[in-house]
Structure 1
Amino acid sequence: MKKQVFILGLCLSQCLLSFSQSHKDSLQFLQNVASLYDLNFTEAEADSLQSSVLFAKTIYQRMHKELPKNDLAFPFAFNPAPYGFTVPAKQEKIVWDLPANVSLPANKNDLAFYTVAQLASLIKNKKISSVELTTFFLNRLKKWGDTLECVITLTEDLAMQQARAADAELKKGIYRGPLHGIPYGLKDLFAVRGYKTTWGTRPYMNQVIDEDSYVYTQLKKAGAVLCAKLSLGSLAFDNRWFGGFTRNPWNLQQGSSGSSAGSAASVVAGLLPFAIGTETLGSIVSPSTRCGATGLRPTFGTVSRSGAMVLCWSLDKAGPISRSVEDDAIVYYYLKGTDGKDYGSVNHAFNYNGKQDVKKLRIAYAENYFRRLPKDAMEWGVLETFKRMGVNVQPVAFPDSAVYPFNIVSTVLNAESAAAFDELTRTDRDTLIERQDKGFWPNSFRAARYIPAVEYINANRYRSRLCKQVQDFMKNYDVVIVPTFAGNQLSITNLTGNPVVCMPMGFNQRGLPQSITFVGNLYDEASILEAAKAYQDKTDHHKKHPEKFNR
């Protein structure tokens, strides 16, 4: 019966208009379609709505004469903050504590695993030029990029031009800050004028967007040097793209996870000091976990997404992936803000203090998640580290199934992504996408046609209630420590827009990195980064890297 109804659903208008169908058959058809949406219409009700359905089709047909491109704005912005919440606006001056006595390594390859702060010290003190540093990382990208299948476009000419400009400014006494002259990579869904922006998939593999994305513009202003546009899974899903299968530097037989696949892999392998990723539902957290990077998924809306591929207007976020919490803080400071072109973005204060007394932070852990773990699980060791620092880590029940009784994120993500790629579906170019299985985008975009607008709107109304419930819980804590993939945490915090930082906490028996996640309050990336830095100051998991890339 389900298969029969589905086939009928594909030819809704044709069946209603066909003279071969009796009036009664048409009404039965409408009743069957309604049952797919958990509705029960009488024959009289179906008879009444038939003309409305046909009239609506004429509207759709007129609308489809001009198919919307991905960058056509959606003018309804998601605001994660509950009523009465004030976005912090007073920005204090941050004095970055760059290490003073950084020397060039005896083995030059070790330079590949220096932090942004260490490299910034070398640049500022003129122990290495940006041109030398950029050339070093470009050579590593050329040497290892194919091995990891993580580079889509090497922006060598642009990188050398920006590096020379950085050096020239430094000679004149102009220093823009800790990103001045530092190489980096962009996930290839951010537009850079004059270069391809492929979105990781065949239908767009030759696309050139005549625009500089906000993220690229901000980093350019900070003096950073773009060396490569990095791989992402097709249309920001997983780690398979039109040119390959991005690999985990710790195990080349394994994918790096996605969708910020190339961003995480390239940083961990020492091909770049930092990279920019995006997350809709795990795309910073998941590859950071798999590869052993430190990833920051900021509060929704704190980084403008103008000039970036849209997957889901109310869920997409951009953030840094690097080798340390301090590096994430530095990059985020220069990344945050809005250009007014992204309806969902805001300016907010980011008052990070790398020397914060961690005992002053209200730190809790999700006891309802932790109790499911074995007693020797690494997550318990994270808590012990804080206890040794004198922190009273409070057990709390992280809101889960009680506030998230059904899969809100699926409805929201599928409906918005299908709208974002309506043109791709209607032109049948979705058949070019690398995967065609039931679990991938082409089928998701088609299936989303059966999500009624009413259900999408109501899912967002329940989402609004979820936001309030989570913020009511979080206001009592600055940081809540959670196992990275426990329960519904990832779905919940992506829906509510809360920031998280994900970082290595050790390695399993197969030598693969494992991560822990800190959840924070809206617009308070500073607290979770301060707590995470305190943890990294007492541990060395984030300093480890695959030895095969140390040459």
Structure 2
Amino acid sequence: MTQPVAPRAIRHTRRYAMMDSLMSREPLPHSVLLPGLPMTRRTLLVAGGIAAATGSGVYLDTRENTSDPRPDSPPAAVASSPVAGAILATPPPVPATPAVEKVDPGGVLAEASVADLRSFLDSGAFTIAELVSACLVRIEELDPGEGGLHAVIELNPDAGEIAARLDEELANKEIRGPLHGIPVMLKDIVATADEMRTTAGSLALAKNDVARDATIVTRLRDAGAVILGKTNLTEWSNFMGAAGQSGFSARGGLTVNPYHLNHSASGSSSGSAVAVAAGYVPLAIGSETNGSILSPATTCGVVGLKPTVGLVSRAGIIPISFSQDSPGPMARSVTDAAIMLSAIAGFDEEDPSATVAEDSSPAAALSSAEREALDGFDYAAGLDPDALRGARIGVCRSLFWFGPAVDARTEEAIAVMQDAGAEIIDEVYLAYEDPSPYVVLLTEFAYGLTEFLETYMPDGPVTSIDEIVDFNYANEDALLGRDQSGLTDALDAGAIEDPYYLEVRELRHTSIRENGIDAIMDELELDALIAPTGGLAESFSGGGGGGSSAEPPSVAGYPSITIPIGLIDGLPAGLHFFGRAFSEQTLLNLAYALEQALPEREPPTFIPADEPLPEG
């Protein structure tokens, strides 16, 4: 059974009601006899003496009773009196700084937004170090052991030191950016030149040192984020072989769904989705080749944003495909996803879109001025709750294949958009050719992984695809009886100069870009396309769920965003917006407007694996 979606009335959310109770102060009554003077016994005596000597009454500068006959300002006799003049000339006292009410960060962390945390930190309600400590406590409570979520693959041993340094900067008003002191987690394919490893979940890379940070990490550090740790994933981002299980890696084990622990978190950015949904951190980085942000985001009830390929640098990220890979934010709200995108977006001369894929990247059509305008752009500042009014939304019926319950919930969300003023263009069918996709992915995987190992892990014990394959065969704990055909096939992959690879890549892009998404949006004058994001989370006991509608924008390299649209029998469902290259602001606006019109996101219930799901 599904719960109907009804537009919510304008009201404080629970978190803002909490903020009000913790942070608000009733104003002190303003009741003084003379301006600028506290009401003390001496003031009363002096003022009374002046009144008796001059025959005038004492006045009030602020009165609730507007019919009070006393004058608004002191009579001339009072103003000219030496005693009164001295009193009136006394400068107002410097108000005492009100004591800051301390707040336990552990009590607000699970559902707090970036703005909430920013307010607490800036006011001194708690420190960055205290916030980081609260994150670690929550992770320890929910993640490890039997019955744990297993979202975290490694914690940053330097997190406490980083937090202390950022606290010192905050005390000195040295704010790096909007993420100053905000804890963030990274999918374990993002290189960090610190004590943490970067392994794609593989034991083969567990002893390799990393030579330098990924570009995205540099941007996050520059924005003030605390890199708290790495998240688990489907090993090798689900390109290890044909029999990979979503959310499982040899290094991290199996990540499970926080809504019901006998269900999949999907993948491959499983741990990032769960870390955000479960309230370990407000933000995490995922990465998508085909559904790896959108699918776990929808099954875990969070927002997932996959940017246009090349808008966020892939330099320093273990790759699959430079034609399709894109790292992006995972958050509990559209606003927080936009804040994170603003921090990480920007063109990078080391990104494949500026090197090996320069001619085929969506960025190839941009001028230098357009690229510069997108670097440092503030996506959160432009969010518009009324963005659906007048927007033309195409319903991509060719991507409705996730079952009646998901379809019904999607129709309810469409009705909410109509009520908000959107013009719904129904029955849109997106047709495209995608011949030999494995040729493109395999060729680019072999090239990209070799480049990554040579650049970021030149001195490790395992420095080539050959050595990864050999390590897995030699170590039972690494392979665990699984297929590694993605890795072995890469040993025989063709070169990126191969004519057949280039022909297939060009055909795919022309079909899905110019003749597909661009053509249908131009013809129907659409602002965005929508579809159900995917099926409900799959049960480990078998049956149900799975899949995503991510393929068209993924193959095109175009942007996508998914937002939660409620629970179906206790499991989250999502709605997918996608559109033209570099239309992130439009998609964020539309998703934000729908988010504001829907009921609040329902947080995870952490139902044990041996208990049934609720109905409805």
What TM-score, normalized to structure 2? 0.67
Q: What residue in structure 2 maps to residue 287 of structure 1?
A: 296
Residues 312 and 451 (structure 1), Cα distance of their counterparts in 2 relative to 1, 3 Å cut: closer
Identity of matched residues, %: 30
Once residues 185 and 501 of structure 2 are traced to their aligned partners in structure 1, the CA distance between those partners, rounded to angstroms, is: 35
Q: Is the 8 A contact 2:444 2:496 kept in 1?
A: no
Offset at 1:439? Answer: 7.8
Residues 361 and 198 (structure 1), Cα distance of their counterparts in 2 relative to 1, 3 Å cut: same
Residues 521 and 327 (structure 1), Cα distance of their counterparts in 2 relative to 1, 3 Å cut: same
1:200-211 → structure 2 map (5 Å cutoff): 200-211=201-212
Residues 249 and 351 (structure 1), Cα distance of their counterparts in 2 relative to 1, 3 Å cut: same
Which of 589, 611, 614 pairs up with 1:530? 589
Offset at 1:373? Answer: 6.2
What TM-score, normalized to structure 1? 0.74
| Gap regions ≥5 residues in structure 2 | 1-14, 23-102, 239-245, 355-362, 364-370, 451-463, 536-546, 609-616
The letter for the 2-side match of 1:378 is R
Q: More helix per residue: 1 or 2?
A: 1
Q: What residue in structure 2 maps to residue 445 of structure 1?
A: 490
Decide which moves more: 420-429 or 304-313: 420-429
Deviations 1:273-309 (A, max 9, x none): 1100111111111111221111000001001111111
Once residues 532 and 268 of structure 2 are traced to their aligned partners in structure 1, the CA distance between those partners, rounded to angstroms, is: 20
1:154-233 → structure 2 map (5 Å cutoff): 154-156=155-157, 158-194=158-194, 195-233=196-234
Q: What residue in structure 2 maps to residue 389 of structure 1?
A: 420
1:259 and 2:308 are equivalent in the alignment:
no
Q: Is the 8 A contact 1:241 1:434 kept in 2?
A: no
Offset at 1:398? Answer: 3.6
CA-based RMSD of the aligned residues comes to: 2.9
The letter for the 2-side match of 1:310 is P
**Which structure has the larger Rg?**
2
Q: What residue in structure 2 maps to residue 354 of structure 1?
A: 383
Q: What residue in structure 2 maps to residue 463 of structure 1?
A: 508
Offset at 1:391? Answer: 1.9
Q: What residue in structure 1 maps to residue 110 of structure 2?
A: 112
Once residues 371 and 273 of structure 1 are traced to their aligned partners in structure 2, the CA distance between those partners, rounded to angstroms, is: 31
Once residues 430 and 518 of structure 1 are traced to their aligned partners in structure 2, the CA distance between those partners, rounded to angstroms, is: 39
Deviations 1:219-271 (A, max 9, x none): 11111111111112211113111231111111222332211111011111111
Residues 434 and 536 (structure 1), Cα distance of their counterparts in 2 relative to 1, 3 Å cut: farther
Q: What residue in structure 2 maps to residue 491 of structure 1?
A: 551
Residues 119 and 107 (structure 1), Cα distance of their counterparts in 2 relative to 1, 3 Å cut: closer
Task: For residue 142 of structure 2, give the secondary structure of its aligned residue in structure 1.
Answer: helix
Once residues 213 and 104 of structure 2 are traced to their aligned partners in structure 1, the CA distance between those partners, rounded to angstroms, is: 39
Offset at 1:161? Answer: 2.0
Q: Is the 8 A contact 2:534 2:573 kept in 1?
A: no
Residues 384 and 253 (structure 1), Cα distance of their counterparts in 2 relative to 1, 3 Å cut: same
Task: For residue 143 of structure 2, give the secondary structure of its aligned residue in structure 1.
Answer: helix
1:240 and 2:286 are equivalent in the alignment:
no
| Gap regions ≥5 residues in structure 1 | 1-97
Decide which moves more: 110-119 or 243-252: 110-119
The letter for the 2-side match of 1:478 is D
The letter for the 1-side match of 2:140 is K
1:277-426 → structure 2 map (5 Å cutoff): 277-344=286-353, 347=371, 349=374, 350=377, 352=379, 353-355=382-384, 357-358=386-387, 359-370=389-400, 374=404, 377-400=408-431, 403-404=432-433, 406-421=434-449, 423-425=464-466
Residues 440 and 249 (structure 1), Cα distance of their counterparts in 2 relative to 1, 3 Å cut: farther
Once residues 150 and 408 of structure 2 are traced to their aligned partners in structure 1, the CA distance between those partners, rounded to angstroms, is: 33
Residues 140 and 372 (structure 1), Cα distance of their counterparts in 2 relative to 1, 3 Å cut: closer
Decide which moves more: 267-276 or 450-459: 450-459
Once residues 207 and 21 of structure 2 are traced to their aligned partners in structure 1, the CA distance between those partners, rounded to angstroms, is: 42
Once residues 143 and 110 of structure 2 are traced to their aligned partners in structure 1, the CA distance between those partners, rounded to angstroms, is: 14
Q: What residue in structure 1 maps to residue 98 of structure 2?
A: none
Q: What residue in structure 2 maps to residue 428 of structure 1?
A: 470
Aligned length: 447
Q: Is the 8 A contact 1:414 1:445 kept in 2?
A: yes
Once residues 267 and 253 of structure 1 are traced to their aligned partners in structure 2, the CA distance between those partners, rounded to angstroms, is: 19
Offset at 1:127? Answer: 2.2
Once residues 182 and 472 of structure 1 are traced to their aligned partners in structure 2, the CA distance between those partners, rounded to angstroms, is: 41
Residues 547 and 429 (structure 1), Cα distance of their counterparts in 2 relative to 1, 3 Å cut: closer
Q: What residue in structure 1 maps to residue 561 of structure 2?
A: 501
Decide which moves more: 418-427 or 309-318: 418-427
